[in-house]
Amino acid sequence: MSEGRLLSDASIGAIADLARSAPDVERVLADVGIALEVLPPVRDHGAVIVPNVSQRLGRTLKALDLTDRSTVNSVLAAATRLAEIYGNAPNSKPGRLARLRDCLAADGYHVNKAGDPMAAIRALADAAGRELADASAIRAELTRLERNLDADPSQDIGAAKRLIESTAKIVLARTGVSVGRNPNMRDLIPKAMESVDAWSATKPPDVQAMMNSLRDLALKVNAFRNKAGDGHGGVTAVTGIDDRDGRLAVRVAIAWCAYLLDALGDLPAQSAD
């Protein structure tokens, strides 16, 4: 791998090998803010060779700044979607998907690995789309998380807090609970949980204890953001936090939001209007 690059040529080649349809590739890339390159035909001994979509995709990805974490996250998001499309094709070859997983793993990345925040982000976006008539606010925060994960732990922490806040406000609105103009997160988080009956008296004591812990963790993300997240101009630089801390905040936010969306879907229809 070239010095500073976060994705190897092997991974780029494995991603490009999954390209079969130019419209699908263009759509997937457009979703992450990348434009598929148009390559001119090549003349070879009188023959005209038109580059196929796999070659175009490989050239497009190699031309990106693969030393930039945000750009690489966008490529990984596209790779996951391309793998899903390819895997559902009737003539797909499992060996190509296995090669993609192996190449990305060698670079330190994983496609749909259990515990992978990026896979969880996409799953949460799907859940929001199923349960909410308008999931645009949550999707906006998820898009920021997906594109910038690991670029800066302070950004991850700030985005995790905003995801919790957006979800809480949407859930409260759907359950008919009024929210003031500038609600305090210390009130917003437990109110949202109460609105979906998180502490139902029918739940076993252990589950109620877990709800207390889930509430406290979400509150800790908010407190963490106030000390180490983006959006607050500190006098001195924040020290002692790294990418793992940012990913932990993201995982907490995903767990909290996913539970509330699950619970919202179980409420009677009139309660969620």
Model confidence at 60: pLDDT above 90: yes
Q: How confident is the model at residue 240 (pLDDT cuts 50, 70, 90)?
A: low
Model confidence at 195: pLDDT above 80: yes
The answer to whether 62 touches 9, Cβ cutoff 8 Å, is yes
Mean pLDDT of 72-79: 87
d(CA 150, CA 243): 6
Residue 88 tokens, joined: 């559902």
186 HSE (CA, 13 A, CB side):
3
**Sign for the pseudo-dihedral over CA of 100, 102, 108, 109:** positive
Question: Which three-class secondary structure state does DSSP give residue 219?
Answer: helix
- What domains appear along the chain, each with residue ranges and CATH number? 9-106 (no CATH), 117-272 (1.20.120)
Give me the torsion for CA of 144, 146, 148, 149, rounded to 10°: 130
Least confident of 76-80, 104-108, 122-126, 221-225: 122-126
**Maximum Cα interatomic distance, the chain, rounded to a whole number of Å:** 79
Model confidence at 94: pLDDT above 50: yes
pLDDT on residue 70: 79
d(CA 38, CA 36): 7
Least confident of 85-99, 112-126, 241-255: 112-126
pLDDT on residue 209: 96
Please state, rounded to an integer, the average pLDDT across all residues of the chain.
81
d(CA 266, CA 269): 9
- Residue type (1 letter), 62: K
Q: How confident is the model at residue 182 (pLDDT cuts 50, 70, 90)?
A: confident
Model confidence at 189: pLDDT above 90: yes
Q: How many C-beta atoms surround the C-beta of residue 220 within 10 A?
A: 13
The residue that leads in pLDDT, 84 or 241, is 84
